[in-house]
Structure 1
Amino acid sequence: MAKTFGSESTADEVLEGVNLTGKRVLVTGVSAGLGVETARSLVAHGATVVGTARDLEKARRALAAAGNPSVELVEMDLASLASVRKAAEDLLKRAKPFDVIIANAGVMACPQGKTQDGFETQFGTNHLGHFVFVNRLVPLLKSSARVVTLSSAGHQISDVDIEDPNFERTPYQAFTAYGRSKTANILYAVALDSRLKGRGVRATSLHPGGIQTELGRHMTPELVEQMMARINRGAKPGQAPAFRFKSVPQGSATSVWSGFVAPADAVGGRYCEDCHVCEVNDDATSRVGVRSYALNLAHANDLWRKSEQMVNERFPL
């Protein structure tokens, strides 16, 4: 009988009894938080892990604090397409295939700014950086590979705005920008899955849960208040909000579950949370499930084309 996992499961619990020897995994963002724990748990269960980080020294210190798991490091700044393309090129030259890519790195609710290429920081980093990086690495994906993209329940805040992705005509709000970028993460997985499933490669997205990591370093008291107000609005009358922060090991569980444990056909093109596939829920007062706009394939294809235009690169996968 298959084990059942949930919101309190940890990555090690999900991988208990799973032998990942021979599996090669790429994890972006292994200098803190979920990336470090995901890499550690994968190595502990036999996987060979390649990790990317903007600051390699910081990544080495973080991995050392996690017990020195054997992780091969590649320098990459998702806010610079030149850096992204160089990292991808370096990996392509090595010509070693991957079983799973976990697009884990990201930024959250940061002040208005631009990436080195002039994109709004959160959309440019969370979506466009991974869009170029993962698409360039498709030739390295094995025929049964998976691409796991970390999104967030924050996608419920806002759909993407394909006509104004850089807030050139829209007043900037940190959480709106975050929501747009996280919806883009889900739509990217939907579009990628539709393009690659014929080859046996599946793509999925997930919400790891609310975790207190460096991701929240830009969270001012005002932004925290906004976030908690939104959570409280989603609570049932007379009840306390059913929200608790997860530990980092718990936050890493859905990444490894969707990458290695869940059936590929179950998670492909879908959105996961707490080690299960979420149902569509368009109730704006609820924070449960996934919004339908994030799983719409036509919408995902529109975003794909817009993303290609923005990065000036086509990916006819």
Structure 2
Amino acid sequence: MTRRYGAASTTDDVLSGIDLRGKRILVTGVSAGLGVETARALAAHGANIVGAARDLAKAQEITRQARQEAVPAGGSLELTGLDLANLSSVRACANTLLADGRPFDVIIANAGVMATPPGKTADGFETQFGTNHLGHFVFINRLAPLLQDGGRVVMLASSGHRFADVDLDDPGFERTPYEPFVAYGRSKTANILFAVEFDRRHRARGVRATAVHPGGVRTELGRHMSEEHHTALVETINRQLASEGKPPFEFKSVPQGAATSVWAAVVASPEEVGARYCENCHVSDVVADNAVITPVSEGVRRYALDPARAEALWRKSEEMVGESFNPPTL
């Protein structure tokens, strides 16, 4: 009988009894919060983890315990430098891993930024779209030849995708006023659409891609939000929940927030999660683009799973980064 998990499930819950010895998994953003916990949990079950981080010194310190926990299970955790807001760094990191030649079973695109002030990446892209989407777009596509047949890609998306669809005509807010959460929504929708199109392009060799929402977790991702903004947001959510007769909102712990990532990566079946959006350790239902739902309700907007939209974003992304990507030759 298949075990069922939910919003309160932790990484240790979903990985109970799972032996990952021999698996090699890449996780981005292994310098804080969900990335560290994701790497820790997988390594503690025997996986060999490559953790990518912009600040290697910080990552080295914060993963010290995780590396120790990995040893008894036969796992490991090594680190590599990666700045997703700089395509020179992205390409250099990918080239190093390609030269090394060791394959990966899973890539988990965990790193990201949220609600940043107006800004540009090193390559002139809007910060959130450039970091969350374009950085991973180039990185994962360059590493696609290293993905084992039957491998998996997990994109960290968000219920924030409901803030906005991608804008293929004005991705950098050149003609529209910049709004931090609209920009965040666009980048998270892009993460889901990337999974949809990557899955289509690679499923012939058994490689599947999925997107996940970790839930509401207090991590460094919210560094650009003031405490007043956090408080006001929670108050708004609680008023909506109260009107529906539901209990107040509670943040997830970090192990609960990372649970859906590891579930989608190594526990769920590929057919279940491929080209889908997951939250609370299950595949989410599709909701209409105009459906009124609370920020903490489950559901993925139709536009985020639209295959035509996903293909159009892929073409636009290739144009923006100046590279074309095709599936590896079988």
SS of structure 2 residue aligned to 1:147: strand
Deviation at 1:72, TM superposition (A): 1.0
- In structure 1, the partner of 2:269 is 263
Tell me the CA shift for residue 288 of structure 1: 2.1
- Please tell me whether the aligned partners of residues 238 and 249 of structure 2 are also in contact (alpha carbons under 8 angstroms): no
The residue that corresponds to 1:284 in the other structure is 292
Residue pairs, 1:18-37, within 5 angstroms = 18-37=18-37
| Residue aligning to 2:140 | 134
Unaligned runs of 5+ in 1: none
Q: Secondary structure at the match of 1:148?
A: strand
Percentage of identical aligned residues: 61
Deviations 1:115-170 (A, max 9, x none): 00000100000000000000000000000100000000000111111111111111
Deviations 1:186-238 (A, max 9, x none): 00000000111111000000000111011111112454256336635753625
Quote the residue 1:199 is aligned against.
205
Deviation track 1:41-97 (CA, whole Å, cap 9, x = no partner) reads: 111100000010001000011102546443111101000000000000000000000
SS in 1 for 2:243: coil
Q: Amino acid of the residue matched to residue 56 of structure 2? A: L
Residue 182 in structure 1 maps to residue 185 in structure 2 = no
Q: Aligned ranges for residues 301-316 of structure 1 at < 5 Å? A: 301-316=311-326
User: Tell me, what secondary structure is at the counterpart of 2:309?
Assistant: helix
Cα distance change on mapping 1:164 and 1:98 into 2, 3 Å? same
User: In the alignment, is the contact (CA less than 8 A) between 1:208 and 1:252 conserved in 2?
Assistant: yes
Distance 2:198 2:178 in 1: 29
CA distance in structure 2 between the aligned counterparts of 1:75 and 1:157, rounded to whole angstroms = 31
Mapping for residues 240-259 of structure 1, pairs under 5 Å? 240=246, 243-259=249-265
Provide the C-alpha distance between the structure 1 equivalents of 2:257 and 2:268, rounded to a whole number of angstroms: 16
Q: Distance in 2 between matches of 1:4 and 1:234?
A: 28
Partner of 2:6: 6
Please report how far the alpha carbon of residue 16 of structure 1 lies from its aligned counterpart in structure 2 after TM superposition. 0.6
Tell me: CA distance 1:307–1:230, structure 2 relative to 1, closer, same or farther (3 Å): farther
**Structure 1 Cα separation of the partners of residues 185 and 196 of structure 2:** 17
Match of 1:149 among 133, 137, 155: 155
2:287 is paired with a residue whose SS is coil
1:83 aligns to 2:93 (yes or no) = no
Pick closer, same or farther for the CA change 1:300–1:229 going to 2, 3 Å: farther
Task: Give the equivalent residue in structure 2 for 1:59.
Answer: 59
TM-score for the superposition, normalised by structure 1: 0.96
- Secondary structure, counterpart of 2:211 in structure 1: strand
Provide TM-score, normalisation by structure 2: 0.92
Unaligned runs of 5+ in 2: 71-75
How many residue pairs are counted as aligned between the two chains? 317
Secondary structure of 1:71's aligned partner: strand
